[in-house]
Amino acid sequence: MANLIIEAVITGILTGGVYALMSSGLTLIFGVMEIINIAQGALVILGAYLSFWLQDNFHIDILVGLLITMPIMFMLGLLIEVAFIRPLKRNRTMLSILVTFAIAMIIEGVLTRQAGATYVQLNAWYVTASFKIGGFYLPYIYIFGFLLSVVLLSGLYVLLYRTKFGYSLRASMQNRTAAELIGIDVERVSAITFGIGVALAAAGGVAFGATNLFNPNSHYDLISRLLVIIVLGGLGSLRGALVASVALLVIGDVTAVVWSPVWSSTVFFMILVITLLVRPQGLFGQLEGRKQ
């Protein structure tokens, strides 16, 4: 039993890294634009399918394929922001949720047309091969997925804290109006942020698709988890998203071992509810989110 729990903790941390990748895009978009991108889950699944097709048709390795899919998804993110999010002038909270939900439906519909409802999984040598650690075998993909998250999140860190664009982005996050006043093109920052968020979703999609069976319908389950993560961490807080991802995945995996897999998602949600009773702004959120 103790062995199983250790295994659950390790896989929880490793998959938590992947969820951090997906949810950091979501929380970043929220931080800059104050919108919740319900389509993030569908975009993760879309990213997974793109890698799947690249591998299927051109025999491109799924991790190498990211060099192609991430730019494509970045452009798609730009397009979505410019075409559908930017025109929303008033009541953005409500409208952006409906718009991104509509986008999620369209993506699900297109994927259902193209791929059907059968479950697939991404494949590569490191998905099937595993190595022995402690008393159990761990597929290499868990390590690779975690490393991918570390690399991309470090890149994101450098981008946010060491470049001029990062300064503009963080300024827009802190105060949109003031950022506009000092000459930052907030609309451009918003579009690029959305693109980055979607590109991160594609990267998360590869790691997700290699460790889970998925079909076009899987995005509901995914977006519910991602939403729980970013709200638990505090909307707009990257640090919160990282901590909450790892915490939730570890707790979920341990629950699956000690109790039963069917309850792991429920425990996920219960922790959110209990946390919010004590801290309505989430773990690292700022209280100003309560102002209306």
Partner 1 sequence: MKIIRIALLILLLAAFIAFPLVFSDPAITEVAVFTLFFAAAASGWNIFSGYTGYIALGHAVYFGVGAYAMALLCQDLNIPAGYTPFLLLPVAGLIAAAFAVPLGWIALRTRRHTFVVITIATFFIMQLMAYNLRFITQGSAGLSLPIPFDWSADFFNLPFYYVALAILLLALGTSWWVRNSKYGLGLLAIRDDEDRALGLGVKTGPFKLIAFVLSAFFVGMIGGLHAYFNGSIFPPFAFDALFDVAIALMAFLGGMGTLFGPILGALILVPAQQYLTIISGETGYNLIMYGVLFLVIILLLPQGIIPTLGKMWHKWVARRSIKEIPPAVATTTAQEALVTESTAKKDEVNL
In 3-state terms, what secondary structure has residue 212? Answer: coil
* Binder among 20, 29, 30, 198 for partner 1 (CB under 8 A): 30
286 part of the interface to partner 1, by CB under 8 A: no
User: x-or-dash pattern for partner 1, window 177-196, by CB under 8 A?
Assistant: --------------------
Q: Say whether residue 93 binds partner 1 (CB under 8 A).
A: yes
Per CB under 8 A, 282 contacts partner 1: yes
Tell how far CA 149 is from the center of its chain: 11
What is the CA 42 to chain-centroid distance, rounded?
10
Rounded to an integer, what distance in angstroms lies between the CA atom of residue 149 and that of residue 188? 26
CB of 166 to partner 1, least distance (A): 24
Q: List the interface residues with partner 1, window 222-251 (CB under 8 A).
A: 224, 227-228, 230-231, 235
The correct pick among 57, 59, 87, 182 for binding partner 1 (CB under 8 A) is 87
Q: How far apart are alpha carbons 36 and 29 in whole angstroms?
A: 7
Cα distance between residue 212 and residue 214, in whole Å: 6
Q: How far is the CB of 90 from partner 1 (least distance, A)?
A: 7
Please tell me whether residue 283 binds partner 1 under the rule CB under 8 A: no
Question: Quick check: 287 binds partner 1 (CB under 8 A)?
Answer: no
CB of 182 to partner 1, least distance (A): 26
Cα angle: 124, vertex 138, 205; to 5 degrees: 45
CA distance 86 to 186: 11
Please report where in the chains the tokens 């730009």 appear, as a residue. Answer: 78
Rg (CA), the chain: 19
Check if the beta carbon of residue 42 is closer than 8 Å to that of residue 103: yes
- Answer yes or no whether residue 128 interacts with partner 1 by CB under 8 A: no
CB contact at 8 A, 236 and 197: no
199 or 228, CB closer to partner 1?
228
CB of 180 to partner 1, least distance (A): 21
Position 118 contacts partner 1 (CB under 8 A): no
Q: At 16, give phi and psi (nearest 5°).
A: -60, -35
* Spatial separation of the C-alpha atoms in residues 186 and 179, rounded to whole Å: 7
Q: How far is the CB of 283 from partner 1 (least distance, A)?
A: 12
Residues 38-57 that bind partner 1 (CB under 8 A): none
Contact pick of 4, 6, 78, 110 for partner 1 (by CB under 8 A): 110
- Residues 170, 161: Cα–Cα separation, whole Å: 8
Smaller CB distance to partner 1: residue 68 or 97?
Answer: 97
Using CB under 8 A, which of 91, 125, 132, 164 touches partner 1? 91
Rounded Cα–Cα distance for residues 218 and 45 (Å)? 7
Provide the binding-site residues for partner 1, judged by CB under 8 A: 30, 34, 36, 84, 87-91, 93-95, 97-99, 101-106, 108-113, 216, 220, 224, 227-228, 230-231, 235, 262-263, 265-266, 269-270, 272-273, 276-277, 280-282, 285, 289-292
